[in-house]
Amino acid sequence: MKCETLEVWKLACALCSDVYLGMKECRDYGFKDQITRSGLSVASNIAEGVERESDKESWRFLDIAQASTAELKTQIYIGMKIGYVVRESGLKWVKECDRIHMMIRSLKRSFRV
């Protein structure tokens, strides 16, 4: 299975790109680095998971990707609260995190662990 064929990977890449663009002007480099890394982790771990040879390894990386959606969502909420993330964008990103989280959950079920 190639990651490029998966809708969940495409959505995660799009979300990551949106987060990077949305945080472009943020001068709090620690926060900016953390939130962009979280977004990058989602897409990257999906890719790594589906490209692994064993189901156990695939499941583990998909589990990390799923957890990264929660991490990203937390940072989005904090960013909205402190004024770093535009509320409209943040709410859209949170909705995408939830969607991706559910898609990863479904994908994990396809692996025998």
Mean pLDDT for 19-42 is 97
Q: Would you list the domain boundaries of the chain? A: 27-108
**pTM beyond 0.85, yes or no:** yes
- The SS3 assignment for 69 reads helix
Task: Classify residue 30 by burial, with Cβ atoms within 10 Å: 0-12, 13-18, 19+.
Answer: exposed
Phi/psi for 25 (5° steps) reads: -90, -5
- Side chain identity at residue 57, one-letter code: E
pLDDT of residue 85: 98
Name the band, by pLDDT with cuts 50, 70 and 90, for residue 112: confident
Please state which CATH number belongs to domain 27-108: 1.20.1440.60
Contact 42, 68 (CB under 8 A): yes
